[in-house]
Structure 1
Amino acid sequence: MTLLSLRGLSKTYGTVRANRHIDLDVAQGSIHAILGENGAGKSTLMKLIYGVETPDEGTLHWHGKPLSLTSPNEARAQGIGMVFQHFSLFETMRVVDNISLVVPGTSRALAARIRALGEDYGLEVDPLAYVHALSVGERQRVEIIRCLMTDPKLLILDEPTSVLPPQSVERLFITLRRLRDRGVSILFISHKLEEIRALCDRATILRDGTVTGTVDPRDHDARALAQMVIGREMPHVTPPEGKAPGKVLLELAGLDHRPDDPFAQALHGISLTVREGEIVGIAGVSGNGQGELARLISGETRRHPQAGAEVLMMGKPVGHLGPAARRRLGLAFVPEERLGRGAVPEMSLSDNSLLTAHGLGLVRRGLIDRAAERRLTNDIIATCDVRTPGPQAEAGALSGGNLQKFIVGREIALAPKLLFASQPTWGVDIGAATAIRRRLADLKAGGTGILVISEEIEELFEICDRLHVIREGCLSPSLKVSEIGPEDVGRWMIGAEGGKAA
């Protein structure tokens, strides 16, 4: 039985056709994946279904009857719920108070319902706990419980596993299968194709805003699905032969740090090294100190001069130096946040190139060499396959994956001695992620030392020589990727014994 039908759904923003005549059927009691590259139209389609946007053309049918939505409130009233990739919870409020913003009832009655739903669906969480004290997995449970308390018939999940360790992913899948078996339909958006194959009954592929096919993902391997998504053969990431690791480029020695933000994670005794010609990864569930550590390495957070020896780059203490001084020593940095920290959305790609590459001959005697700026930007666009009208396009107009490829390419163009990349493929489709990983492997082969913070365990195993796991502001010992498996990393992530130190 069909729960939701879309016929001829289209949405245009200016000259960009985000969705073009989309036809889609979602069966009752099914888990239906939506696959596509960044910019393929997945997010727009979900906004149309959830009432955030209204279509320019086409119709929605709910239980066979026409449906017109103008707001998420109307969607929830019909039985459509959505859990966004970035959680919408107030950290200084209790779980029950967050849920009360959407679900009516007294705190006592809501707390009882939260406990009952948690036991019923394996989503246990303390309704009286403050959100800032919860792990990321627990916060996700709160989001799902909040949706379930509105009695949804259709649940939309946007990248629900991107912040979870392997053990929590399997627990989430058990919950989703239980919901499906009780008649709830689920629209599941993910770039992790093995998860799609393990969980979903159907998968619809979008390309350039158009449906190109619907398949049973269990009948195809991940490589075949990837080829359907990007429309071409998937290249392998084969790390080129590199040199044996050389001298130490980055050293953190017993670093302790207590941030000014009372809700931020303090760091305790952080020690690691990165050498020439190696890639070192840091795994961990979001919120365990990755952001605080990233700011200390990039120079956005400085240390007292007497504490400068805790952070050394190229053999020199730099803890008291800012980002510009560290860049002059040979550091390049890809931040987690593309817009705002990695690029200025209102500025052109050419001007965004200038922000970190001005030392490559783009400024002469205090004047910007616009021709050189355009040449560099065009080189980055061509080399990194950035899909954009040209160097004058605004950074904010690019899809997430294309902007990420541009930022990574810009930093690699600096020919850095040391590259620090935080979440280099966050929310990026499989084609763009593969391209970025190949660039990192090539850079390593040239002798650059690379530190990568990532919540994608498969990515770390694909590109890293060694890795650490961060939990509650502490780092595990150095772990050789060739001697451990994802389960070992998962045990470190949840605080259990596991792993082999290098």
Structure 2
Amino acid sequence: MTVPRLELRGITKRYPGVLANDEASLCVAPGEIHAVLGENGAGKSTLMKIAYGALAPDAGEVRWDGRPVRLASPDDARALGMGMVFQHFALFETLTVAQNVALGLPAAMAREAARPWLAPLIERYRLDLDPDAYVGDLSVGERQRVELLRALAARPRLLILDEPTSVLSSAARQALFRTLRQLAQEGRSVVYISHKLAEIRELCDRCTVLRAGRTVAVLDPRATGQDELAALMLGEAVDRVAPGGAASAGEIALSVEALSVPAGEGERIGLREVSLALRAGEILGVAGVSGNGQSALFAVLSGERTAALDDAVRLHGRPIGRLGPAARRELGLRAIPEERLGRGCVPDMGLDENVLLTAPPSGGWLHRRRLTAAAAGIVSRYGVRAASPRAPARSLSGGNLQRFMVGRELEGAPTVLVVAQPTWGVDVGAAARIHQALIDLRDTGAAVLLISEDMDELLAVCDRLAVMAAGRISPVVTRAEVSAEALGRWMEGGWGHAAA
């Protein structure tokens, strides 16, 4: 038998109030693309951090090429030939792309990274990055590509990818798959963590399923149906999203008129004459490849960035272009950013304290019990797995933190909700729950603007759709008028001139 490249035996890891891994196991062969599947909080990220030396297990053994190894840090793992792209980024925002790549490499390779070979590497993997751009000025999707570039630059023997395609376009995703298959053909191993069951069935040779911290199955995903995979992951069948009543769009709730915003420092694309009308009682989707102006649009709509003219943005007919986020919330607009830690939540604050970010206390008084009760209600109603309502935001998995953020904003009963990448890194069960919450909100008569790079998500929940490319926005069309193929062409700016 082939000696496993990486083997984890009986791994156990406890946190206060949480058993993250419970004698979990994983075996990855040379030249294999191996998926690790599980719902949010199942212990996938913790298991991978242990494999990479970022965490120490409380019990169990890590073996590399058949030999037991003790990994005191990621440096030890990298010295063996491992590379990892984390779901939550580990980048220096004040440094450039090239500098961040160099910092992730051994000294000899880091010197080489300063040479012109970095640009061809970016082109080879179709990562569409400017080596001289500062990471702090990049979108979430672009930052994920920097992490991927840094890992690939070290030429690893085993590459761990945690939700690598969450914010990649279809073309970029297929380019990544080609790269991963080439790595496997060269005898390298890939550990692929994803909630996208179709991707796992298309790409991976084997799949290890985790549930509640334990390994419950090892199987061939290509011979297993998506419903069966989902049931193994969740321990039950996945609830189907109910489409709700037919959308009955009402008055214009949020509008943008001829909005132009210059590209900020380090940005390549601003907004160019963007006009858009969102109506009450509908979900309007905005598709596009990351970095084409979606982040700027979200910032202007949420109030993070103000417009030059007050009437460039209107909420229920009222000019709000120069109002900040707090003033817009008072008028009924709430926003959920794509970046969870740092923008959506303060990492070291408890969930109860994070409730305050978008629901400040009336009269200026803080009532700790009320805050804790509010956070506990969100945790219960939206299926958030947390040690307690006071658990720090950083202690939650990405998907559970996303559930909390969605619940926090929906509890504010918005008349207009602007949300970016709501199911990025979220398991199939949680994604269905979030989609249902957005549909239910729409059915109350609220207006939802959904900015996403997930084509399946947009086609599943939206009533109307538009595409952003190069800072411009396409005509708006109904769901029935457009196909996934047409949207893909529009992402390259190839739309007609007829308005919907």
Q: Match of 1:439?
A: 437
Match of residue 290, structure 1, among 268, 288, 294: 294
Q: Shift of residue 246 of structure 1?
A: 0.4
Q: CA deviation at 1:372?
A: 5.3
Alignment partner for residue 280 of structure 1, among 259, 273, 284?
A: 284
1:12/1:391 Cα in 2 relative to 1: closer, same or farther (>3 Å)? closer
Selected match of 1:187 from 179, 188, 191: 191
- Per the TM alignment, residue 131 of structure 1 is displaced from its structure 2 partner at its CA by 4.6
Aligned ranges for residues 284-323 of structure 1 at < 5 Å?
284-304=288-308, 307-323=309-325
Note if 1:102 corresponds to 2:105. yes
- In structure 2, the partner of 1:235 is 239
The equivalences for 1:198-217 within 5 A come to 198-217=202-221
Q: 2:333 is matched with which residue: 331, 343, 347?
A: 331
* Map of 2:74 onto structure 1: 72
Q: Report what 2:456 is aligned to.
A: 458
1:412-470 CA-to-partner distances (Å, cap 9, x unmatched) read: 22222111112222222221111111011011111111011122221111111112222
Give the C-alpha shift of residue 265 in structure 1.
3.5
SS of alignment partner, residue 430 of structure 2:
helix
CA separation of 1:45 and 1:499: change in aligned 2, threshold 3 A? farther
How far, CA to CA, are the matches of 2:375 and 2:238 in structure 1? 26
Q: Distance in 2 between matches of 1:465 and 1:400?
A: 27
Question: Does the 8 Å CA contact 1:264/1:292 hold for their aligned counterparts?
Answer: no
SS of the residue corresponding to residue 470 of structure 1 reads: strand
Q: Is the 1:40–1:206 contact (alpha carbons within 8 Å) kept by the matching residues of 2?
A: yes
Aligned CA distance change for structure 1 residues 186 and 89 (closer, same or farther; 3 Å): farther
Query: Any conservation in 1 of the 2:475–2:499 contact (CA below 8 Å)?
Result: yes
Q: Distance in 2 between matches of 1:297 and 1:144?
A: 30
Render the CA deviation track for 1:38-64: whole Å, top value 9, x for unaligned: 221111111111122222221112221
1:48 maps to amino acid? I
Instruction: State the 1:262 CA deviation.
Output: 4.3
1:208–1:155: structure 2 CA closer, same or farther, 3 Å change rule? same
SS at match of 1:239: coil
Q: Distance in 2 between matches of 1:336 and 1:137?
A: 10
Q: Distance in 2 between matches of 1:214 and 1:270?
A: 49
The residue identity in structure 1 corresponding to 2:286 is I
1:83 — aligned with what?
Answer: 85
Q: Which residue identity lines up with residue 383 of structure 1 in the other structure?
A: R
| 1:58 counterpart residue number | 60
Please identify, of 186-195 and 98-107, the stretch whose mean Cα deviation from structure 2 is larger: 98-107
Aligned residue in 1 for 2:345: 343
TM superposition shift of 1:380:
3.0
Sequence identity of aligned pairs in percent?
46
Deviation per residue, 1:328-380 (Å, 9 max, x gap):
2211222223334333444444444344345xxx64x6545666555544443
Aligned AA (1:427): G
Contact 1:333/1:421 (<8 A) preserved: yes
**Distance in 1 (alpha carbons) for counterparts of 2:118 and 2:323:** 48
- Aligned residue in 1 for 2:157: 153
Q: Distance in 1 between matches of 2:466 and 2:207?
A: 35
Work out the CA distance in 2 between the residues paired with 1:147 and 1:400.
Answer: 21
Q: Return the letter of the residue paired with 2:436.
A: R
Root-mean-square deviation over aligned CA pairs: 3.2
The two structures have a TM-score, normalised by structure 2, of 0.88
Q: Which residue number corresponds to residue 479 of structure 1?
A: 477
Are the counterparts in 2 of residues 247 and 276 from structure 1 also a CA contact under 8 Å?
Answer: yes
User: Which piece of structure 1 moves more, 382-391 or 93-102?
Assistant: 93-102
Deviation at 1:282, TM superposition (A): 1.4
Corresponding residue of 1:386: 384
Cα 1:44/1:97, change in 2 over 3 Å: closer
What one-letter code is carried by the residue in structure 1 that aligns with 2:50? L
Letter in 2 for 1:341: R
Q: Out of 234-243 and 193-202, give the one that drifted further.
A: 234-243
Q: TM-score, normalised by structure 1?
A: 0.88
Alignment of 1:35 onto 2:33:
no
Unaligned runs of 5+ in 2: none
**3-state SS, counterpart of residue 289 of structure 2:** coil
Query: Deviation at 1:408?
Result: 1.6
CA separation in 2, counterparts of 1:109 and 1:347?
A: 37
- Letter of the structure 1 residue corresponding to residue 271 of structure 2: L
Cα 1:90–1:388 shift into 2, 3 Å: closer
**Structure 2 Cα separation of the partners of residues 372 and 138 of structure 1:** 39
- C-alpha separation in 2, matches of 1:127 and 1:383: 40
Number of positions where the alignment pairs a residue of Structure 1 with one of Structure 2 = 494
Q: 1:198: how far off?
A: 0.1
- Measured in 1, the distance between the counterparts of 2:231 and 2:403 equals 20
Task: Report the Cα distance in structure 1 between the residues aligned to 2:101 and 2:301, rounded to whole angstroms.
Answer: 34
Q: Call closer, same or farther: CA 1:309–1:117 in 2, change over 3 Å.
A: closer
Shift of 1:94: 6.7
**Residue 109 of structure 1, CA deviation:** 9.1
Letter in 2 for 1:337: E
* SS, match of residue 55 in structure 2: coil
Query: What is the rounded CA distance, in whole Å, between the counterparts of 2:74 and 2:394 in structure 1?
Result: 25
The corresponding residue for 1:176 is 180
The 1:9/1:389 distance shift into structure 2, 3 A limit, reads closer
Q: After alignment, is 346-355 or 103-112 more displaced?
A: 103-112
Relative to structure 1, the CA distance from residue 71 to residue 500 in structure 2 (aligned partners, 3 Å threshold; closer, same or farther) is farther
Cross-structure match for 2:19:
17
**Structure 1 CA distance for aligned equivalents of residues 113 and 359 of structure 2:** 58
Amino acid in structure 1 at the alignment position of 2:411: A
CA contact (8 A) 1:345 1:394 kept: yes
Cα 1:223–1:255 change in 2 (3 A) is same
- From 251, 254, 273, the counterpart of 1:250: 254
Question: 1:352/1:262 Cα in 2 relative to 1: closer, same or farther (>3 Å)?
Answer: closer
Preserved contact between residue 91 and residue 100 of structure 2 (Cα < 8 Å): no
Per-residue deviation, residues 385-411 of structure 1 (Å, max 9, x unmatched): 233455444444433323322222222
How far did residue 136 of structure 1 move? 8.8
Deviation at 1:492, TM superposition (A): 2.3
- Unpaired runs of at least 5, structure 1: none
